[in-house]
């Protein structure tokens, strides 16, 4: 197993993180109608063997959806390169 060590505290149930949404497919010219975006998400469960993998309740502006461990969960990616991953909210 290879994943970078979390640079922030471990996630725990009830914490709010960001989920990187899936944008629309990249066109031939490299543009996207809708790029990936940060969405608020509540941690619903944490993988005991890999605490960087969590289940999420993702809060979209027009509705919520569940992303449970049983369906693969969401892995931490602080670089925000992988749609479907989560990261700690940016400090603004
Ligand atoms: Zn974010």
Which of 14, 22, 13, 8 has its CA nearest to residue 89? 8
| Ligand 1 centroid to residue 29 C-alpha, Å | 26
Question: In this predicted structure, what is the pLDDT of residue 24?
Answer: 83
pLDDT at 25: 85
Find the 75 Cα to ligand 1 centroid distance in Å: 14
* Whole-number Cα distances in Å, 41 to 9, 32, 33: 16, 23, 23
Instruction: State mean pLDDT over 56-80.
Output: 96
DSSP bridge partners of 36: none
Structure tokens at 73: 């969960």
Q: Which of 45, 49, 48, 72 is nearest to 57 (CA)?
A: 45
pLDDT tens track for 37-46? 999 999 999 9
Whether the per-residue pLDDT at 17 is higher than 70: the answer is: yes
Cα(16) to ligand 1 centroid in Å equals 11
Cα 88 to averaged position of ligand 1 atoms, centre (Å):
7
């Amino acid at each position: 197993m290879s994943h970078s060590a979390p640079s922030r505290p471990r996630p725990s149930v009830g914490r709010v993180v960001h989920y990187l949404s899936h944008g629309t497919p990249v066109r031939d010219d490299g543009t996207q109608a809708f790029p990936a975006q940060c969405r608020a998400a509540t941690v619903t469960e944490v993988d005991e063997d890999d605490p960087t993998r969590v289940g999420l309740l993702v809060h979209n502006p027009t509705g919520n959806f569940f992303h449970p461990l049983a369906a693969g969960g969401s892995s931490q990616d602080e670089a925000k390169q992988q749609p479907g991953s989560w990261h700690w909210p940016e400090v603004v």
